[in-house]
Amino acid sequence: MERTFTLNDGALIPQIGFGTFNDAFADNKAAILQAMECGYRFFDTASLYETERALGAAVKESGIPRKELVIETKLWTDEMGAENVGAALERSLTRLQTDYVDIYMIHWPRQSGAEDEDWKQLDIETWQAMEKLVDKGKVRRLGLSNFLPHHLKNILAHCRIRPVVDQLELHPAYSQEAAVAFCKENDVLPMAWSPLGHGRVNASIGNGILPKLAAKYGKSVQQINLRFLLQKGILPIPKASSREHMEANLDVFDFALTEDEVAMLSCMPQNGWLGEHPDFSIPDRKSNFLQ
């Protein structure tokens, strides 16, 4: 994939990534290998997803030089803290069969939702331990996931190495405009998990703008979702388990939504949220939220 975003450290990253939060990928590298054959070079995983081993095996079998791939993984809440970060990364590196990751992320800003009163200090300690991993060459750059403006502001006020990305649930029915704007104001690239939406999002909402746009451009509703995000400067990370869908998710560069259409989608009713909030709850291990 030649189309890229530029991160705040000058590095280039593909404009569309491949999400591996899928039970089908946990013990099966075939789908990930197929994604590589389709042209994906940026892969998102996490210690929580239990897909690091499959991704690592796929990279080895693919024969694609490691330097041509962007591998991003995340540490979970029970791996936070200065004393835990180094060991957490080593476990991820072992599962991924690599000696470095391109982006290492804090997966969730609070360990225990609303009951976590010490989250700010824990986030700082965790981040500073991650910065040391960059110094050692085991991590190329750092990022965040599910960090809202007040969480991100805490990191920015105390970091030595700035986060390059923040991964959020983003799609037309949950566009989190304030969070995206804050990321852009601070030169942090917003990434979208669950970018294709889901049942309620992709149904006819209000005046049915998504289906109408899909018909106008000869695309699927999912492709309209992806195009919307790209035009807003957001990097989507869709999942797919079939070659047809993998290829379709990359086939979004031959059309453009109008400025009015992007505005309409940005103002859709916000009814597509999957139901967890980083300030008030912690998803369980199999939650749909952790995509």
**Residues marked as catalytic:** 49
**CA 236: distance to chain centroid?**
7
Smallest CA-to-CA distance from 195 within 71, 104, 291 is with 291
Task: Answer yes or no: are the C-beta atoms of 3 and 14 closer than 8 Å.
Answer: yes
Task: Answer yes or no: are the C-beta atoms of 36 and 50 closer than 8 Å.
Answer: no
Q: Classify 166 as helix, strand or coil.
A: strand
CA distances from 133 to 96, 99, 105, 153, 173 (A): 16, 12, 12, 22, 37
- Positive or negative, the CA dihedral 120, 171, 20, 276 is positive
Task: Answer yes or no: are the C-beta atoms of 46 and 79 closer than 8 Å.
Answer: no
C-alpha to C-alpha distance for 282 and 191, rounded to whole angstroms: 20
Instruction: Say which residues have a Cβ less than 8 Å from residue 253's Cβ, sequence separation at least 6.
Output: 3
Tokens read off for 40: 């994906």
Q: What is the DSSP letter of 171?
A: B
C-alpha to C-alpha distance for 274 and 109, rounded to whole angstroms: 18
Give, in degrees to the nearest 5, the angle at Cα 227 between 225 and 233.
110
